[in-house]
Every structure is written in structure tokens, then in C-alpha cells.
Amino acid sequence: MSNPVDLSAQETGAGARPGVIASLALERMARSPAHLIETLPVGIYTCGLDGRLVQFNRRAAELWGGLTLGSSVPAIDCCMGKVLETGHPVRDCELTVTRHGETLTLLANVDPLFDEQGMLVGGVSCFQDISELTRARRQISEGRHVVGRVLEALPVALYSTDAEGRLTYFNKAAETLWGRAPKLGEQRWSGSMKMELPDGSDVPLDECPMAVVLREKRAQIGPEVYCVRPDGTRVPCLPYPTPLFDSAGKLIGGVNMLLDISDAKRAHAEQRGLIDELNHRVKNTLATIQSLAAQTLRGAHGVNEREFEGRLLALSRVHDQLTRNAWAWADLETIARGTLAKVPPSHLRVEGPSVHLNSRTALALGMVLHELASNAARHGALSTVFGSVALTWSLSSGMLLIDWRESAGPPVVSPRKRGFGTRLLERAIAHELGGRPTLEFHPHGVYCTMAIPLPE
């Protein structure tokens, strides 16, 4: 390479102005291309057809390392090889160079060199270090890839459109919600083929929330809509459409999040149902207590007060078991043994298969068994030291068959009038449960049988 241009003493005399001196220096540099090439911030080298270096500047030596005139072009520079072979230029060719343990990415542009007769005589390569740019691009690409994976993994439906409403992206959750995979760039405003309001009226797609947002250029929440899948399934959604603008404030598209509120609506319906069921049960319980009070508090205060307390405790025991099972069921044997807990085991036989009763049947049977046990303790088999009770049950053709038998008690006679226990048996088993109760007064003990239909 040539040395920097020297200015003559005359041109740089004491009387020369600084501006003139600078102008003259620049003119001299312009007349010395070798000097300009040497000072360029990009690498440049020239080689002949044999691939040997004819010229290179300082920056080329820094980037490649170990260049000497007459040596061969570095083997990794395939771009120069293509130019020398074809005589055609190569543009924006990326090369990877390892120098002192550091990996660099070079962007090369190579042109062929021809003589006056048009014969190919060599090539010239101009290249620059784009390692930082390459790393930045890689990070951006990796970031986009991560964002894409995050969007795909989200359990909420997301999709985007251009300014005209044409779909540009949707994630897997959106495809699942719509029940289909719409074609990008064709369908507009939503991937759902049909949308409805909660009352069942149709929502034209050009009036759906995303279309309104793109038209009015403002974000909104809702209103609630139903996306109708191809199979007719209606999925309730709460949309969150938002317009997107570029740095100049121009609308470039929109993004929408569709929140599937199916679970929330089911939970609300279940809650409403539970509240209604609770109100119903409270009313029934209060009606039962009112009936117990009216039937019990007739007569001597001391005796009937204890009877009323016993009936409330029997009702409470069944309530406790139902509560432990979320009011779904109660176990018949548990109810029976709880009711007869004070009877000595030698005077009691409780036997039958495992049966789960719904709340209505459990409450009715709990009260009936309490009345039978109370009557046996006051007047029947359990009022003597020798008496005993056998409570058995079985299942047959969807019916629960219960048998109560007292034995070895005092002589039994049929009562002259129907008491509370008899009326409770008829009302609870026959009227409320649709069963068939029978009550027989044998000389050696009371027999009571009940046939109660059980739902599956």
C-alpha cells in the first residue's frame, strides 16, 4: 500500500490558511486510491485467477488474520471462488471466521475484475464484521420463537388480524375453542364460522367485537358471545379485542383474547342450584320441626318435651351424616345403628347390605326408625329385660325392603286411635317416598315392613 500523501513546503507555508491546507490534503488523498483503500473501515482484498492475493488493506488483515501478498485466498472464502469460477458477482455472502478463539461473522460482496479486452483477470472482495448484528438478529429470532411457544402454550385463545380484519395468527387454544382451523389471510374478524348472543340471536361476523374494535379503533371488553362450532356446540366467551398501531399511530391490525367462561357459567348455575336446594331443604326441615312440635307438645309437659328433644336429635343425626357426604347420600346401617345406639347388643340384630340413601329417603327413614325405637322403649319389646329387636333389609328389583320385628316383649294390643308414629309412618313412607308401609300388632311384638322405591 502507498504511504500517506505529503504536502509540499510551498503548499503548507506559514501564510497558508488552515482551511486551504485541509482542502489541499484531501485533494492529494483523492489522487491516491491506495491510501483511501488503506484507511477504509471495511476489509478489501484483490486476487488473481490463481487465487493468490495481489492487494489487501489493514482492515482485511485484522479480520482474516495472517494475510501476506502472494499467499492463497483463505479457503473458507467460497464467495471469491465462485466469482473466479463463473465471472459473476456474489452479493451479501455471510462467512464465519475463527480468529484467536473468537468467531466472527463477515458479510462479503465480491466482484470480478476484467482487463481492457473483457478477459477475467481476478476478483475483488469487500467485507465487514457483522458479528454483533448477527447476534442481535439471533436473539430477536430466539425471542420470537420463545414468544411463539408461550402463545401456543397459553390455555386462553388468542388470535390477531391485519387492519382489514384478515386473520394473521391464532394459537392452539383458539383452534380448540372454534372447533376448526381457519385459513390465515382469508377469514376475517374471527375464526368462528358463527357467533350468537346469549339470547340465541345471530351476530354477523362484520359486527363481532373484533370488527367493531378495528372500525372504531379503540379497545373494549365484551360483550359476552357464543362461538358456535361446526358440530353445533355453543361455547360462551368473553372477548378482549384491542387495536394495534405502528409508531406513527396508523392502525396495523388487532389482537383478541377469547376467555372461555363455560366453567364459570357452570359454577354459577351450580351455585344457584345449591342455593335453591338449600332453601328447599331449610323449608322442609322447618316444616318437619313444626310438625314435630305440633304433634309432640300435646299433653304432659315433661314427657313430651323429652320426646320432642329426641326427635330433633334423630333429625340432627341424619343431617350430620348427609353433611359429611355433601348432602349426596347417607348410609342406612349408620342411621340404624345411630338410632338404636342405646340398645344392648344382646337385644339387637341389625343386618342388611350396604345401601346409600338420598337425602329425602334418609331423613324420612331416620324419623321413622326413631319413632319405632322410641315406641319399643316405652311400650314394646325394649321396655323389658328380655325383649329384643331385629332390623333387617334387602334389595329387590329397585326396591328397598325393610323389616322391623319386636319379640319377647309385653303383650301387644292394637291401639284404639292412630298415634303420631303411625301418622309419621304413613306420611313419610307412603306419601313422601311413594312406598308401601305396613304396621302389625302381634301379641308377642310389633311388626313393621316397608317397601321403598330407590332411584338408581
pLDDT along the chain (456 residues), means of 10: 45 55 60 72 87 86 77 76 90 83 85 90 88 80 68 76 87 85 84 84 86 87 86 87 88 86 78 69 63 56 62 80 81 92 92 92 90 90 91 94 93 76 83 90 90 86
Q: Are the C-beta atoms of 159 and 176 separated by less than 8 Å?
A: no
Question: Nearest 5 degrees, angle CA 371-CA 375-CA 381?
Answer: 130
The CA distance from 257 to 158, in Å, is: 5
Residues 6+ apart with CB under 8 A from 79: 90, 93, 95, 108, 110, 125
C-alpha distances out from residue 93 to 80, 96, 110, Å: 10, 10, 8
C-alpha distances out from residue 227 to 41, 205, 309, Å: 60, 11, 57
Q: Are the C-beta atoms of 159 and 174 separated by less than 8 Å?
A: yes
Q: Are the C-beta atoms of 14 and 21 separated by less than 8 Å?
A: no
The CA distance from 80 to 46, in Å, is: 10
7-10-12-13 Cα dihedral, nearest 10 degrees = 160
What is the predicted pLDDT for the residue at 2?
39
C-alpha distances out from residue 368 to 118, 365, 371, Å: 118, 5, 5
Q: Buried b / exposed e across 8-27, counting CB within 10 Å, b at 16+? A: eeeeeeeeeeeeeeeebbee
C-alpha distances out from residue 254 to 140, 247, 439, Å: 22, 15, 77
Q: Tally the C-alpha atoms within 13 A of residue 130's C-alpha that lie toward its C-beta.
A: 16
Q: For residue 116, is it left (φ>0), alpha (ψ between -120 and 50) or beta?
A: alpha
The CA distance from 419 to 281, in Å, is: 26
Instruction: Estimate the crossing angle of helix 301-324 against helix 332-339, to 10 degrees.
Output: 150
What is the predicted pLDDT for the residue at 421?
73
**Burial label, 382 (beta-carbon count in 10 A; 0-12, 13-18, 19+):** buried
The CA distance from 110 to 60, in Å, is: 14
